[in-house]
Chain A
Amino acid sequence: MTSPHLLWLLTGAGVILVCASIIGEILRQRLSPAGDNPVIENLNARITSWWVMVILLGLAFIAGKPGVILLFALCSFAALREFLTLTTHNRADHWSLLACFFLILPLQYYLLLIDWYGLYSIFVPVYAFLLLPVASALRGSTKDFLIRVSETQWALMICVYCASHVPALLYLQIPGFEGRNVILIAYLIFIVQLSDVMQYVWGKLIGRTKVAPNLSPSKTWEGLIGGALTATAVGTALWWMTPFSPLQAAGMCLLITTMGFFGGLVMSAIKRDRGVKDWGHLIAGHGGFIDRLDSVIFAAPIFFHVTRYFWSAT
């Protein structure tokens, strides 16, 4: 599963993190020697969490397909837990919610593992969406029924179905690219997350015009354009490790950074509606799993299907 290109990407991420750690430490000594500047402390907590995430991802890549699938199944589980904690449900939904966690989620990833594309690509929207409301209806409670059912379905769609399209990239059959699919995952995550970080940096530096002031005070047009263009430039420069030509790579990067941005925006709207700042607390400095994965989750299915349609042999 390892390839020299993957080592390049991981080394690149490692170098960026080493630089970030050094800058974070210098900033701490200059501005927050007693550990009392919340911005600096949060920055350093974020960098530490990034180390953990990159190392886990690297280990999963080394472990091969089952490792990557297991990692994303666990991320899905954590994300679903965060999402369903905030949705509307009552006692009558107990069994259908249990089914989300312990039946649908494992099955979706198992179908991936055995590469049954025909079923995993429709399993959640067809079978889960039809059968879950039945489980809730059989318990007899009609209060807020449509709200309960649709919120649960959206949780599954985002946290299980969309997220599972990241490991699904491993199974695309691209002529001339055999045995290197793991690059697609590393590339997708690297570009989308780089875009997130650069949007933050550009937004802090020159951000003025807010995209949606009601949703998120930190998202600005300057940040979005700066971040997306920076990530696209880096992604285009890395075209040689992908199945794409330089121009195609640029187009793909624009597509996934835009989707990633909208993912963050939509998930912010949900958080705003539910009156919370973060989805969870398990990733120090970042918040919850969904806070970190929202952009990847939105970009993954589109990236998967565009790549499959234009480049895949099947």
Chain B
Amino acid sequence: MTAPRAIWQGIEPVPHQRIYFANHSSNGDFVLLWTVLPAPLRRQTRPVAALDYWLKSPLRTFIGREVFNAVLIDRRPESRAEDPVTQMVAALDQGASLIIFPEGQRNSSDEPLLPFKSGLYHLARTRPEIDLVPVWIANLNKVMPKGEVIPLPLICTLTFGAPLHLASDEAKDAFLARASQSLLALQPLLPGHA
């Protein structure tokens, strides 16, 4: 109903192993990203999602585990049994591509993007050969603002940018800033996004 539209601006939809990182404004984000990927890519792509959200009810557990084959990570450092980066690297080593939201939570502020968590950097350092592809998801926060029940049928666009890699001597903060910039640069120039 939202007629999602993929714009492959900096990269082609070919079945390379990739880490797609996107802005996070709604729970529908990864579903949308998943649906615009061509079927062969979709099958090898796993979203990384928060365990505390997806294990809340049996239905969510089923959808998260069986339908989307999500890599469920624990966002709470004090209670978690497994390190999220280790889990994600394990999934990469099995040949999967990943969808991650480096903001770490849904962005409901007026800022276009929240500061990135460091997970993206650790992944880039551990598996430097894998393409990091920025994906800007536009309008989904308007389709389904936090707290609303009925979605608004607006057109969403997903813009795929040129892939990034960690430079050999790049520091963590510099890399995260560069990744964040490359994602922001993909925003369409529409009112309400500027």
Residue numbers of A with Cβ under 8 A of B are: 77, 81-82, 84-91, 94, 97-98, 101, 274-276, 280-282
Question: Are A94 and B191 in contact, CB atoms less than 8 angstroms apart?
Answer: no
Residue numbers of B with Cβ under 8 A of A are: 3, 5, 139, 142, 145, 148, 150, 152-155, 188-192
Indicate which residue in A77, A101, A275, A282 contacts B152 across the interface (CB closer than 8 Å): A101
Minimum Cβ distance to chain A for residue B54 (Å)? 26
Indicate which residue in A85, A88, A274, A276 contacts B154 across the interface (CB closer than 8 Å): A85
Residues of B within 8 A of A98 (CB): 150, 152
Residues of A within 8 A of B3 (CB): 81, 280, 282
The A interface, classified by DSSP as helix, strand, loop or mixed, is: helix
The B interface, classified by DSSP as helix, strand, loop or mixed, is: loop
Residues of A within 8 A of B145 (CB): 91, 94
Minimum Cβ distance to chain A for residue B190 (Å)? 7
Residue of chain A at shortest CB distance from B141:
A91
Indicate which residue in B150, B155, B188 contacts A81 across the interface (CB closer than 8 Å): B155
Question: Are A94 and B154 in contact, CB atoms less than 8 angstroms apart?
Answer: no
Residues of B within 8 A of A85 (CB): 139, 154-155
Question: Are B192 and A88 in contact, CB atoms less than 8 angstroms apart?
Answer: yes
Known A81-B3, A281-B5: A94·B190 in contact at CB below 8 Å: no
Residues of A within 8 A of B192 (CB): 88-90
Question: Are A94 and B152 in contact, CB atoms less than 8 angstroms apart?
Answer: yes
- A281 and B189 CA atoms in complex are apart in Å by 17
Residue of chain B at shortest CB distance from A274:
B190
Residues of B within 8 A of A77 (CB): 153
Residues of B within 8 A of A82 (CB): 155
Question: Are A81 and B190 in contact, CB atoms less than 8 angstroms apart?
Answer: no
Question: Are B190 and A86 in contact, CB atoms less than 8 angstroms apart?
Answer: yes
Residue of chain B at shortest CB distance from A101:
B153
